[in-house]
Structure formats: structure tokens, C-alpha cells
Amino acid sequence: MASKVIQAFYTDDDVLMDAVKKVRKEHHHIEEVFTPFPVHGLDKAMGLPHTRLAITAFMYGCLGLTVAITMMNFIMIEDWPQNIGGKPSFSFIENMPSFVPVMFELTVFFSAHLMVITFYMRSRIWPFKEAENPDVRTTDDHFLMEVSATSENVDELIGMLAETGATEIKVKDKQGDNH
């Protein structure tokens, strides 16, 4: 039982959305959908789980806040206390109002930068990585849906995808996991 991938091309995002819904309704596995721009609701139509990137952003923000508090307490209170404008330098709590901007900035800095790094690692995007786009037209004006198929149901899937409004359909042998 050889695995195949059927690539169906579409020229309209609404037609693509209807096709994705029909393919999912028929319980076929959609490998990937390539679009030239974000299509609202496509992730829900494909049945993709919600991202947990917001949770990591919160954790990274907490890490940034902890680093900011620890750093300012060590630098301004313990290591080299200075009398700046008559403010006491023997307690972090008494100096905290002047530390708030630094705490905010480091919270945002850690959250943003570590979230981007996490996104790249999770998406397996790193420098010098080969593009996985199967057709360059998907960066211009075409939409591409890749559907898994076995040798037995290829003809059935081709017929169904043609009914959904696909302008072009290709059948390719499935290569190893691209991810």
C-alpha cells in the first residue's frame, strides 16, 4: 500500500475553504495547505489545535520580570548602592517606582524575543533551511491543498477534489516527513 499525496490547486480562498470542509467531512487527512496570504478560519476548518504560544509568552514574560528584579536588586541595592536624588538605596521596595520602566521593558524584551525563538524552533525554521513549498505559484495567486491518499482511494479523492472546484490536480508519491 504505497502512500500518495494529492495536490489540488485553487484560485479562490472561498472555494478552498469549502473544499477543506468537504475533505474533512469525508474524513480524509489534509497534510498541508499553502496559501499566498492568511485565510481567516482555515486553521479551524482544517481542525488544527489552538496554539500554546501565548502560554510560553506569559512564562517568558515572568522570566524577564524575575531577571529584571534580580538584576536591579543586585546592581542598585547590594553591589553598588548610590544616593541618586536623595532616594534611599538600602531597600528595593522603596526604590521600586523608579525600577518599574526597567521591569516592564525587560518583561516585554524577554517575552518577545524568546517567543520568536520558540516559534522558529517549533516550526523548524532555521537559517539556511530549504523551502518546503511544493509550488511557487502558492506565493503569488494560487492555493494548494495536499491530501494524503493510499493507492486504493486515489481515484475517489481525485473525483471529489475535482467536484470541489480544483483547477489542477497532481498525484505524487509521498516522501518522508518534511518536518
CA angle 147, 29, 137 (to 5 degrees): 30
pLDDT of residue 65: 97
> What are residue 7's DSSP bridge partners?
146, 170
Residue by residue, DSSP assigns 13-58 as HHHHHHHHHHHHHTTPPEEEEE-SS--TTHHHHHTPPPP-HHHHHH
d(CA 44, CA 176): 26
Q: Indicate whether this model's pTM tops 0.75.
A: no
pLDDT of residue 124: 87
Pick the CATH number of 3-50+132-173 from 3.30.70.120, 2.60.40.10, 3.30.530.20, 3.30.460.80: 3.30.70.120
Q: What is the pLDDT along the chain (179 residues), one digit of tens a residue?
A: 568 899 999 999 999 999 999 999 999 999 999 999 999 999 999 999 988 899 999 999 999 999 999 999 998 888 887 777 776 677 788 778 888 999 999 999 999 999 999 999 988 888 888 888 888 999 899 999 999 988 788 888 999 999 999 999 999 887 765 54
pLDDT of residue 5: 92
